[in-house]
Amino acid sequence: MGEIDVPGMLASRDTLLASAAERARAYLAAIDARRVPPTAEAVAALDQFDVPLPERGLDPGRTLALLDDVGSPATVATNGPRYFGFVNGGALPIAVATSWVLAAWDQNAALRIMSPVAARFEAVALRWLTELFGLPAGITGGFVTGATMANATCLAAARDAVLSSAGWDAAAHGLVGAPPIEVVVSAESHTTVHKALGLVGLGRDRATRLAVDRQGRVCPTGLPSLRRPAIVCLQAGNVNSGASDPFVPLVEWARQQGAWIHVDGAFGLWAAASPKLARQVTGIDGADSWATDAHKWLNTTYDCGIALVRDPDALRSSMRAQAAYLVAEADHETMEFTPQSSQRARGAEVWSVLATLGRDGVAALVEQSCALAGRFAKGLTAAGIRVLNDVTLNQVVVDFGDPDRTDAVIAAVQEDGTCWCGPTTWQGHRAMRISLSCWATTANDVDLSVAAVVHCASQRRA
């Protein structure tokens, strides 16, 4: 049997870390100039990784070189300025740098005793986020993998709280025999809200769907009476149009119905951080729980979702986990407020980015993306291309005529490689989605991308 070469590993550590830093620097330095999607050859070269598990390991320097030399060209340049797919965002330099230091710390943020530093960063980051979004003081939360898990975390707390009001201890006894919960969602709820409802036992397809308007906002008229216990899921930031539900009337109605109000604000909640855009989400502070992402519009590295809950006891009673060896010494132990036990110190990276940007910087980041979305839409409209949505946030939905042509133009844009935009179907229209949420995107990137899209569209016309 071999043995771990501890002296050898220690001796190579400095060189290895310096090489990783240099490779990462070079990768990012070149990202602006490269094709956004990888070439087919670069993807085919990934076969080099797919070898039988080696009996004897490689030298770590060679492993790193292989990973970078073959892996980097096969990446999608989502961390560059012209990636407009999904709502991916790009990682700010401070986020990347912080994540390196955090990896070296290798802290387990589950309990304060394991990592006082992670606990402190998390507490401050949660407080700052609450202030930034204008949410009620005293709310609590936790950092999770993404908005999907943030939705699931909030909905687990919602489920247990509304059942508790109905005299049922769901955390202890589960849902078998529990009073049925009436769940109401927007007809345009994100698919991950349904996934989260399924995960917490409330069913992916059971919820009543509320009608929406042309922008995908719930219509606040003709709302149903609800049977308690009830949960209402609203949305800040429709994944296609970017529009947010009208929270003021909807929150008032849901409160009258005695429902728990949850908001999926994966990216749309960040509108609350901008004095210019905050009115799009007026009334959002009246909800009971909020799910959002830092890896989208705050431009942290993956993965970083945020679950916020008004009533700390509700979240803790769903997430608590105790054992004699798990020494909980504080009021807020991270693992008692998140589905995970062991977890990386996500709050520290959020702290770092918020500390670097400040309130003004976060507002500028959000407003810049929205202004650039407007510029994108204007450029396309000027070229005779139809924009389907009111561009009020960072999303642009574009129709190139008929569905086949739209798909052909999207394929041509992706092949061209100047930028990357994906497909969607929105309110019956096959369309291209353009989502702006990266700090590095400039007006010039948008103009280059508009030119590329217009060129691809004109070629398809010919």
Ligand X SMILES: Cc1ncc(COP(=O)(O)O)c(C=O)c1O
Residues of this chain that interact with ligand X (CB under 6 A) are 86-87, 146-148, 190, 192, 237, 239, 264, 266-267, 293, 305
Name the residue among 37, 387, 419, 447 with its Cα closest to residue 240. Answer: 387
Q: 86 or 128: whose CB is closer to ligand X?
A: 86
Q: How far is the CB of 190 from ligand X (least distance, A)?
A: 4
Name the residue among 315, 366, 261, 347 with its Cα closest to residue 140. Answer: 315
C-alpha–C-alpha distance, residues 286 and 260, integer Å: 10
Q: How far is the CB of 262 from ligand X (least distance, A)?
A: 12
Q: How far is the CB of 117 from ligand X (least distance, A)?
A: 25
Q: How far is the CB of 148 from ligand X (least distance, A)?
A: 3
Q: How far is the CB of 239 from ligand X (least distance, A)?
A: 4
Q: How far is the CB of 377 from ligand X (least distance, A)?
A: 19
SS3 content of the chain, % helix, strand, coil (to 5): 45, 10, 40
Q: How far is the CB of 71 from ligand X (least distance, A)?
A: 22
Instruction: Give SS3 for 195.
Output: helix
123 DSSP assignment: H
Q: 35 or 190: whose CB is closer to ligand X?
A: 190
Q: Which DSSP string corresponds to 326-364? A: S---SS--GGGSSS-SS---HHHHHHHHHHHHHHHHHHH
181 DSSP assignment: P
Q: Could you tell me if 276 and 367 are in contact, meaning their C-beta atoms sit under 8 angstroms apart?
A: yes
Q: Could you tell me if 393 and 277 are in contact, meaning their C-beta atoms sit under 8 angstroms apart?
A: yes
| Amino acid (1-letter code) at residue 38 | P
* CA distance to 58, 84, 97, 432, 450, per residue, from 76 (Å): 27, 11, 20, 18, 20
Q: 115 or 437: whose CB is closer to ligand X?
A: 437
Q: 35 or 433: whose CB is closer to ligand X?
A: 433
* CA distance to 361, 408, 416, 435, per residue, from 451 (Å): 29, 17, 11, 17
Q: 267 or 270: whose CB is closer to ligand X?
A: 267
Name the residue among 177, 204, 153 with its Cα closest to residue 169. Answer: 177
Q: How far is the CB of 152 from ligand X (least distance, A)?
A: 9
| Cα angle, residue 375 at apex, residues 373 and 377 outer, rounded to 5° | 70
Q: 241 or 318: whose CB is closer to ligand X?
A: 241
Q: 237 or 379: whose CB is closer to ligand X?
A: 237
86 DSSP assignment: T
Q: What are phi and psi of 429, to 5 degrees?
A: -105, 130
Q: How far is the CB of 438 from ligand X (least distance, A)?
A: 14
Name the residue among 88, 126, 131, 92 with its Cα closest to residue 109. Answer: 126
Q: How far is the CB of 307 from ligand X (least distance, A)?
A: 11
- Rounded to the nearest angstrom, the gap between the alpha carbon of residue 212 and the centroid of all alpha carbons in its chain is 23
Q: How far is the CB of 267 from ligand X (least distance, A)?
A: 6
Q: 186 or 368: whose CB is closer to ligand X?
A: 186
Q: 37 or 146: whose CB is closer to ligand X?
A: 146
| Amino acid (1-letter code) at residue 14 | D
With CB atoms as reference, the residue minimizing the distance to ligand X is: 146
- Rounded to the nearest angstrom, the gap between the alpha carbon of residue 99 and the centroid of all alpha carbons in its chain is 17
Q: 107 or 240: whose CB is closer to ligand X?
A: 240
Q: 170 or 269: whose CB is closer to ligand X?
A: 269
C-alpha–C-alpha distance, residues 338 and 4, integer Å: 35
